[in-house]
Amino acid sequence: MKGGEKKMSKERDLIRMKGVVISEIVDNWIDESRDREEESLDGLVEDRMDYINRISKCSTLEEIKEIWFDCLWSDRKMFEERWKELL
């Protein structure tokens, strides 16, 4: 693979993972919002939007990975397994 092709592949992987992780966050957001009262949704919305905005600005897969872990995960081992599945 030539240098330009390799760079394009990395950029494509980065964009794809941003989409995948944002989708996972939104799915969780929807599930969580079903279990909450209307009044308590504001904090959830602000929290999830903050994570989505931070992910959209990431320039490396490692940044995306750490933000996603902070957002939804508490078990590092399970998280690492899920991350590998998505890559």
Number of domains present in the structure of the chain: 1
Which range of residues forms the domain containing residue 52? 3-86
- Checking 25-30 for CB contacts under 8 A at 24+ apart, the result is 25/51, 25/52, 25/55, 25/68, 25/71, 25/72, 26/52, 28/72
In the chain, how long is the greatest CA-to-CA distance?
54
Over residues 42-55, the pLDDT tens digits come to 778 888 899 999 99
Spatial separation of the C-alpha atoms in residues 86 and 38, rounded to whole Å: 33
Structure tokens at 76: 């590092």
Place of tokens 């989505």: 52
**Cα distances (angstroms) measured from residue 84 to each of 39, 44, 55, 60:** 37, 27, 18, 16
| Residue 1 pLDDT grade (very low, low, confident, very high; cuts 50, 70, 90) | low
Over residues 21-69, the pLDDT tens digits come to 999 999 998 888 887 776 667 778 888 899 999 999 999 999 999 999 9
